[in-house]
Structure 1
Amino acid sequence: MTAQAPPRAPQRPPARKSRLKRLTRRDVVVLSLMVGIPTLVQILLVWGPTLLSIGLSFTRWNGLDLADLRPAGTDNYRYVAQDYPPFWPAVGHNVLWLLFLGVIGTPLGLLLAVLLDQKIRGSKIYQSIFFIPVMLSMALIGVIWQLFYNKDNGLLNFLLGTAGTPQAVDWFGDSSVNIWAAMVAATWRHAGYVMILYLAGLKGVDPTLREAAALDGASATQTFFRVVFPAMKPVNIIIVVITIIESLRAFDVVWVINKGRNGLELLSALVIQNLVGEGQVIGVGSALAVILLVISLVPIVWYLIRTFRKAGP
């Protein structure tokens, strides 16, 4: 009998070469520039002024001579909360702005998105028409709506038949109605922005969800509110945060109208009124800016916490 050869040990597969390549000097330079330049811009134009405003909010200063810079502790914040007449009306107007965008502007954008998602004829044209205000600056929107609201020659008074008569309404000059007129102008832009976001969200909903709901006998309305809308939860959270921030950063429209006075007081307008122009009070303006910053950070931090918690292990 011939002796059998011993079995061969299983060969190990050749070790894979590491796909990680060592960065060349050129790669390091390019990455440094791509990261460093935006970071430097952020520090110089965002975080630097932010920290400077926080520091100035605890001082008294005329904004001209550094020799007049004096510490003030929390006096500026106490003055804003207790003795500055426009502050609380401005807070109320910002809250009203938020409610108006949340109750009218955002649902209007959702309605437009749902209608345009039905693949109606010319939907791309309608999307472009409704999205045009989003591409315009809020200052330009204020100018456009001034033509619409003009007391003597405005389109609205013309349609009401009161143009050029004593019964004509001064939509931007009357302090009892100008805040509503300004919010309508802001909603014109906000609705188009929300429409685009919701259109993207509707395109991302799994079609099988709608088919399953239809097989269960659900109507189109029931399918939307019980299946489609909950499936767009990430988009809904983003739009809530955007709506809150839009209500807080509202500035351009009211500044174009009357510089945020006579019924159009907003926190952002008060900041500029105290930081720029005659009678500037740097400490008070900085305190108002810090208050606005803290309020704005609340929805942003809430959104980031939810995002990172979901992305975590």
Structure 2
Amino acid sequence: MTVHQADTETKDPPQRQQRSLRRRLKTLSTTDKVVLGLMVGIPTLIEACLIWLPSLASIGLSFGRWDGIGSPTNIKGAGVANYTYIFTNYPAFWPAVLHNLIWLIFLAVIATPLGVLLAVLLDRKIRFSRIYQSIFFLPVMLSLALIGIIWQLIYSGDNGLIDSLLGIAGKPQSIDFFGDKSINLWAALIAQTWRHAGYVMILYLAGLKGVDASLKEAAALDGATAWQTFTRIVFPVMKPINTVVIVITIIEALRAFDLVYIINAGTNGLELLSSLVVQNLQGEGQDLGVGSAIATVLLVVSLVPIVIYLSRTFRKDRVE
């Protein structure tokens, strides 16, 4: 192999991979191509029917008015009136935006660092670390609806765990964490943290296992403390994990719904954008146009971190 050929292959790995993939596809039999087409096509078709087509229909409906009664042909055009209404005249919209923002900040500042801390502690090969991992990861396997029910039993003012331990359950001075408008958002965030921290812990545990041990040893020889080693060497090395966690945290804050809906249907201080969507799509006075407009705003905001993550990932693949 000449130097020029070696240099070309070193600088152009993505193109070489594409050529290799095309060659492999050409060698596939007709049966293999049919099977491959079905394996790719069927999931794509299902996702298009269940996710993208309803999303596009919702976007279209956000520019119309319809109470959900009768045929969709009864939809009347409204232009951007629904968006003007939710941005200027809908009293619950901006409080819901603020609550979603608080949700995001709380997950980013409290829940995510807690997950990182758990991962670092469990990565030190302490005794019974597998048991601790299972305990902290257990909430991740539960649905947020079930988590809401569990924390209702903890927070209830009549016979909840906390008030019972304080000896005030069922008494006038009992604390109804989910019923009190001034504290129910923070109570719900603690319940969300219980789940989110375990998810972040598992992601960072996987990342820590992939860090080259020689880097830590070199830092120790240079006299770096454990904190300096983690912040200046280990954490930057886990940049892909950091990006994934950031995206997941943003999406979790935007799509929060199950928990608050179980608590009080997203009312009385727990208004979120997702709960406003449901409130406008069902019940008395439903307005599918307004609900669809809020859902579209939520979709656009949710796509921002996803697009940024995918663009960074694909750019990295091209460079490599």
Q: Same fold (TM over 0.5)?
A: yes
Of residues 44, 47, 57 in structure 2, which corresponds to 1:39? 44
CA distance in 1, matches of 2:78, 2:24: 59
- Which residue in 1 is equivalent to 2:108? 102
2:196 maps to which residue? 190
Contact kept, 8 Å, 1:62 with 1:68, in 2: the verdict is no
Count the aligned residue pairs.
296
How many Å apart are 1:311 and its aligned residue?
A: 1.3
Indicate the SS of the match to 2:176.
Answer: coil
**Is the partner of 1:109 in helix, strand or coil?**
helix
Match of 2:290 among 284, 289, 292: 284
TM-score, normalization: structure 2?
0.90
Is the 1:201–1:232 contact (alpha carbons within 8 Å) kept by the matching residues of 2? yes
Q: Give the superposition deviation at 1:172.
A: 0.5
Q: Compute the displacement of 1:164 (Å).
A: 1.9
Please state which structure has a larger fraction of its residues in helix.
2
Picking from 141, 154, 163, the partner of 2:160 is 154
Partners of 1:307 and 1:31 in 2: how far apart? 25
Where structure 1 has 5 or more consecutive residues not aligned to the other structure, the ranges are: 1-17
SS at 1:169 equivalent:
coil
In 2, distance between residues paired with 1:278 and 1:19?
58
Q: 1:96-175 residue pairs with structure 2 within 5 A?
A: 96-175=102-181
1:214 aligned to 2:239? Answer: no
Structure 1-normalised TM-score? 0.92
- CA deviation vs aligned residue, 1:78-118 (integer Å, no higher than 9, x gap): 00011111100000000000011011100000010011001
What CA distance in whole angstroms lies between the structure 1 residues aligned with 2:282 and 2:143?
Answer: 21
The answer (yes or no) to whether the contact 1:260–1:270 under 8 Å persists in 2 is yes
Structure 2 residue identity aligned to 1:206:
D
How far apart, CA to CA, are the structure 2 residues paired with 1:43 and 1:59? 23
Q: 1:190 deviation in Å?
A: 0.1
Partner of residue 308 from structure 2, selected from 302, 307, 312: 302
Question: Against the structure 1 CA distance between its residues 157 and 120, is the aligned structure 2 distance closer, same or farther, given a 3 Å change threshold?
Answer: same
Q: Give identity over the alignment, percent.
A: 68
What is residue 93 of structure 2 aligned with on the other side?
Answer: 87
The yes-or-no answer on 1:24 pairing with 2:29 is yes
Q: Is 1:242 matched with 2:248?
A: yes
Displacement of 1:67 in angstroms is: 4.2
Does residue 60 of structure 1 match 2:99?
no
* Paired position in structure 2 for 1:11: none
Q: In the aligned structure 2, how far is the partner of 1:112 from the partner of 1:133?
A: 14
Please state whether the residue corresponding to 1:38 is helix, strand or coil.
Answer: helix
Contact 1:149 1:172 in 2 (8 A): yes
Find the aligned partners of 1:213 and 1:259 in 2 and give their Cα distance. 51
> Which amino acid is 2:43 matched to?
P
- Alpha-carbon distance between aligned partners in 1 of 2:169 and 2:287, rounded to the nearest angstrom: 41
Asked if structure 2 preserves the Cα contact closer than 8 Å seen for 1:133 and 1:188, the reply is: yes
Over aligned residue pairs, what C-alpha RMSD do you find? Answer: 1.2
Q: CA deviation at 1:249?
A: 0.5
Q: Compared with structure 1, are the counterparts of its residues 20 and 286 closer, same or farther at alpha carbon in structure 2 (3 Å cutoff)?
A: closer
Answer with 1 or 2: which has the greater Rg.
1
- Listed as ranges, the gaps of 5+ residues in structure 2 are 1-22
Segments of 4+ in structure 1 off by > 3 A? 18-22
Distance 2:255 2:65 in 1: 26
SS of 2:58's equivalent? Answer: helix
Residue 14 (structure 1) aligns with: none
* CA distance 1:20–1:246, change in 2 (3 Å): closer
**C-alpha displacement of 1:19:** 7.2
Deviation at 1:275, TM superposition (A): 1.1
SS state of the match for residue 199, structure 1? helix
Single out whichever of 247-256 and 226-235 deviates more from structure 2: 226-235
The Cα of 1:21 is off from its aligned counterpart by: 5.8
How far does residue 24 in structure 1 lie from its aligned partner after superposition? 2.2
Secondary structure of 2:27's counterpart equals coil
Verify the 8 A CA contact 1:267 1:292 in the aligned structure 2.
Answer: yes
Change (3 A) 1:285 1:20: closer
Letter in 2 for 1:31: L
| Residue aligning to 1:7 | none
Following superposition, the deviation at residue 246 of structure 1 comes to 0.3
Aligned position for 1:268? 274
Asked whether the 8 Å contact 1:113–1:195 carries over to 2, the reply is: yes
Deviation at 1:152, TM superposition (A): 1.0
